[in-house]
A = this chain, B = another copy of it.
């Protein structure tokens, strides 16, 4: 079986942690997949303990899937890409995580997405899922655009779409905004209506708002002008973000994330036509990142 690892060689773990899910993949040095795992949210900006628990859960699932036990953790070289660690304070807190692995290399979800999309070479990515952001790496120079988080930006993200839907519904309820099909859809989805929506979503996380993103696209598809205006505002932002990344002259730009398929038809034609599919998903990018960093470490030793 090619999926067997060679003795004395490390096993590589790739972790992609976002606002809704944490994906783990275990691979051999020759990049054969040994196992996979998926767990819950892993954005340390919205909960550090939960992030660490999600990393551990996804890892344990991938280890079990690979037929490995906890004794094997010391053979693991991990690449961990997380939303939120573009913020210096969040990075330094996460860097103190007492990991059980032989080595751990921590970076942003954006960098591992870019590693995966372009096989570790130069390129750019836009990630449009629970959050939204852009990243490029060209001639050793990295650029981050957006990645400000739900409250301060993340335009066109799933969380942003859901929040805009709720705002539009409340405005319509007051007679200060146009009627919208989203009212019925949001109330059905949340099982409540009127100002009770506010209480229902008081402690809601970005992933809870992101669950409403689909109904915004659905309402827009059914001709709802308010929903259409929201998705077009989002698409304009993504197109502008892509334009900003192209200024760095990356050889390629990939759009990733859960909203990819629904957003592509809405982007400016010249932006959409230049997108290229990612070669690998972000969790495999995290493995490539770990292999690259581990090789650097060995070379320096």
Contacts and interface: CB of A to CB of B under 8 A. Distances in A.
13 contacts: A87-B199, A88-B196, A88-B199, A90-B199, A145-B176, A146-B176, A149-B198, A151-B201, A152-B163, A152-B198, A153-B167, A153-B170, A176-B241
A166 interface: yes
Given A87-B195, A145-B176, A152-B197, 16 more contacts: A45-B202, A86-B195, A87-B199, A88-B199, A89-B196, A90-B199, A145-B175, A146-B176, A149-B198, A151-B163, A152-B163, A152-B170, A153-B167, A153-B171, A176-B237, A176-B244
Interface in A226-283: 237, 240-241, 244
A201 to B, nearest CB: 8
A148 interface: yes
Which range holds the interface residue count of chain A?
A: 20 to 34
Contacts of A145: 174-176
Interface of A: 45, 86-90, 145-149, 151-153, 163, 166-167, 170-171, 174-176, 195-199, 201-202, 237, 240-241, 244
**How many copies of this chain are found per oligomer?**
2
A244 B89 contact: no
A166 B146 contact: no
Contacts of A152: 163, 166-167, 170, 197-198, 201
Contacts of A167: 152-153
A40 B101 CA distance: 48
A244 B199 CA distance: 24
B148 A170 contact: yes
A153 to B, nearest CB: 6
Nearest to A209: B151
A274 B87 CA distance: 49
A214 to B, nearest CB: 20
Contacts of A176: 145-146, 237, 240-241, 244
A87 B148 contact: no
- Pick the most buried of A45, A89, A151, A153: most chain B CB atoms within 10 A of its CB: A151
A174 B195 contact: no
Contacts of A171: 153
A244 B174 contact: yes
